[in-house]
Amino acid sequence: MVMDDKPREECGVIGIYAPDEDVARMAFFGLYALQHRGQEAAGIAVSDGRTMRLHKDMGMVAQIFTPQNLQALQGCYAIGHTRYSTTGSSHVRNAQPFMIETYDGPLAVAHNGNLVNAPVLRRELLQHGVGLSSSSDSEVITLMLAGAPAETWEGRIQYAMKHWRGAYSLVILTRDSVYAVRDPWGFRPLSVGQLPHGGYVAASESGALRTLGCEVIREVKPGEIVKLSNTALRVRQGHPPASPTALCTFEHIYFSRPDATWDGCNVHQVRQRLGAALAREAPVKADLVMPIPDSSTPAAIGYARVSGIPYTEGLVKNRYIGRTFIQPTDSLRRQGVALKFNALEENLRGQRVVVIDDSIVRGNTSGPLVKLLRDAGAREVHLRITCPPITHPCFMGVDMGTYEELIAHRLTQDEIRDHIDCDSLHFLSLESMMEAIGRQEGYCNACFTGRYPLEIDAVRAKTDFETALS
Ligand code: SF4
């Protein structure tokens, strides 16, 4: 992948019940709208009420699916997944959905999140003689559902929820049903919408629901099991919600598309408020405000509005370069961020610039970006970040790297400023960030504070499971 310094996207899931529709193609376009949440692999499983079929592979949605392989996926029940590997390495055996044959018919599962107790659950399955073919915690979820002691699928889901600890937004496909399930902490988003001609869709982001023409009805609430069916939605509280809940703050800061609604708030509006809060908290004399495109654009608009400093663009992003699997040549690699961004010299020459970015994770691209702006003629570069320093890793499904890789874990803010070589640097305070989001509690902020909402067994590497398989 081309040089980047963002938390790695999680995954995107979609579940569809749509009688008399081509659900495979609907799932394809739904996944297309969720592509930003994972570009390593994707898959769709479809059931026609008797037979379940699956197609999945490595790559992006448009590379994996063709009219021919979608045509083979016939039915009115579907689930889909687009993946970035958080637990389990990047390998086709870890691609989702997972599909297995059970005593009660076929079962397929797609999962967004990460179970913090997966190693324990995995060991228990192996001790009971259950074989595993992948290194993904999502396969553990699938096999636990298959073996859960209950009469119905809802009962099995409810039973398994008692044992799962961590982040899981799931879509589950059985022979004749689709379920949407969200963990009691509510880490990852999951919303439900109604199709205009009958049927329902569940998706990681409400924007994907609108892409399919749905009226967005509600979020799946923490701990809920929602069955998508022909009549009204069947909602069951599978597990009591955690108190307090622990919604991921990073959905607001970076992950979700700006058209998403997360916890009842429009993400674009929240990002504007984050920028406005930065302008109040860290004002500076400057000639222009510019974002690191694209995710920081709303925050730069907010900063410009409050500060009165004109908004402009200083960088043009090659939107597709970060998504390629073709490794750059050595000489292109030396180009670093220049492969991804071009500076607009005419806008920057002689200017004092406020640069808005959403986060600094490993700190490997901010310095080259500042240099790119200076080389283009910027006189001063003041960096403003719309969240606090990331000092702790995430164990709930977001890849931010290890403690040692996180620059804010190793260096003070002044040291980071010197490392990046900008004229000033400010991270938005936790208080101002939560004020901009409009909530005081119910959110996970562990990557900023180290206060994890649930007990983390051990500091585990991303490919923990691989050892068991290799
Ligand atoms: S640790 Fe950070 S990235 Fe992970 S769930 Fe919590 S807020 Fe989100």
- Contacts (Cβ under 8 Å, ≥6 apart) of 415: none
Q: Is 398 in the pocket of ligand 1 (CB under 6 A)?
A: yes
- How confident is the model over 108-118, as a mean pLDDT? 94
Look at residue 62 and give its three-state secondary structure.
helix
Q: Is 116 in the pocket of ligand 1 (CB under 6 A)?
A: no
Rounded Cα distance, 282 and 128, in Å: 57
Q: Whose Cα sits closest to atom 6 in ligand 1?
A: 444
Look at residue 76 and give its three-state secondary structure.
coil
Ligand 1 centroid to 451 CA: how many Å? 10
Q: Output the pLDDT for position 61.
A: 94
What's the helix, strand, coil split of the chain in %, to 5? 30, 25, 45
pLDDT band at 86 (very low <50, low <70, confident <90, very high): low
Helix axes 297-307, 267-281, angle to 10 degrees: 40
Nearest CA-CA partner of 99 in 169, 40, 45: 45
Q: Whose Cα sits closest to atom 5 in ligand 1?
A: 248
Q: Is 447 in the pocket of ligand 1 (CB under 6 A)?
A: yes
Which atom belonging to ligand 1 lies closest to the Cα atom of 392? 1
pLDDT at 468 over 70: no
User: Which of 386, 395, 447, 448 gets mutated to test ligand 1 (max ligand atoms within 8 A of its CB)?
Assistant: 447
Q: Whose Cα sits closest to atom 8 in ligand 1?
A: 248
For residue range 330-384, list pLDDT tens digits in order: 666 666 677 788 999 999 999 999 999 999 999 988 999 999 999 999 999 999 9
Q: Whose Cα sits closest to atom 2 in ligand 1?
A: 447
Q: Is 387 in the pocket of ligand 1 (CB under 6 A)?
A: no
Rounded Cα distance, 348 and 381, in Å: 10
Q: Output the pLDDT for position 332.
A: 67
Q: Which two tokens stand for residue 14?
A: 């979609």
3-17, 166-180, 254-268: which is most confident: 166-180
Which atom belonging to ligand 1 lies closest to the Cα atom of 400? 3
Least confident of 98-112, 310-324, 429-443: 310-324
Ligand 1 centroid to 91 CA: how many Å? 24
Q: What sign does the dihedral 330-332-335-337 (CA atoms) show?
A: negative
Ligand 1 centroid to 170 CA: how many Å? 18
Q: What phi, psi does 360 have (nearest 5°)?
A: -125, 120
- How confident is the model over 205-231, as a mean pLDDT? 93
pLDDT at 467 over 60: no
Q: Output the pLDDT for position 85.
A: 60
Q: Output the pLDDT for position 402.
A: 87
Q: Which helix (H) or strand (E) holds 366?
A: helix 366-375
Which atom belonging to ligand 1 lies closest to the Cα atom of 446? 1
- How confident is the model over 207-229, as a mean pLDDT? 95
pLDDT at 8 over 90: no
Q: Is 250 in the pocket of ligand 1 (CB under 6 A)?
A: yes
First to last CA, the chain: 25
Which atom belonging to ligand 1 lies closest to the Cα atom of 393? 1
Whether 390 and 348 have beta carbons less than 8 Å apart is answered as: no
Whether 30 and 392 have beta carbons less than 8 Å apart is answered as: no
For residue range 437-461, list pLDDT tens digits in order: 999 899 999 999 999 999 886 545 4
Alpha-carbon radius of gyration of the chain: 22
Ligand 1 centroid to 396 CA: how many Å? 7
Rounded Cα distance, 172 and 15, in Å: 8
Q: Is 396 in the pocket of ligand 1 (CB under 6 A)?
A: yes
Ligand 1 centroid to 125 CA: how many Å? 28
Q: Output the pLDDT for position 333.
A: 62
pLDDT at 160 over 80: yes
Q: Output the pLDDT for position 322.
A: 54
Q: Is 433 in the pocket of ligand 1 (CB under 6 A)?
A: no
Q: Which two tokens stand for residue 123?
A: 């060991």
For residue range 269-301, list pLDDT tens digits in order: 999 999 999 999 999 999 999 999 988 999 999
Q: What sign does the dihedral 255-440-299-427 (CA atoms) show?
A: negative
For the chain, what's the residue count?
470
Q: Which two tokens stand for residue 458?
A: 């051990």
- What percent of the chain lies above the pLDDT cut of 90? 76
Ligand 1 centroid to 445 CA: how many Å? 6
Which atom belonging to ligand 1 lies closest to the Cα atom of 395? 4
Q: Is 114 in the pocket of ligand 1 (CB under 6 A)?
A: no
Least confident of 79-93, 124-138, 366-380: 79-93
Average pLDDT score over the chain: 90
CA triplet 339, 92, 46: central angle to 5 degrees?
110
Q: Output the pLDDT for position 14.
A: 98
Which atom belonging to ligand 1 lies closest to the Cα atom of 187? 5
Rounded Cα distance, 146 and 334, in Å: 50
Residues forming the active site:
11
Whether 323 and 302 have beta carbons less than 8 Å apart is answered as: no
Q: Whose Cα sits closest to atom 4 in ligand 1?
A: 394
Which atom belonging to ligand 1 lies closest to the Cα atom of 453? 6
User: Which of 37, 169, 187, 248 gets mutated to test ligand 1 (max ligand atoms within 8 A of its CB)?
Assistant: 248
Q: Output the pLDDT for position 339.
A: 75
Ligand 1 centroid to 271 CA: how many Å? 17
Beta strand pairing status for 224-228 and 177-182?
A: antiparallel
Q: Output the pLDDT for position 135.
A: 78
For residue range 51-82, list pLDDT tens digits in order: 999 999 999 999 999 999 999 999 999 999 99
Q: How many CB atoms lie within 10 A of CB 451?
A: 9
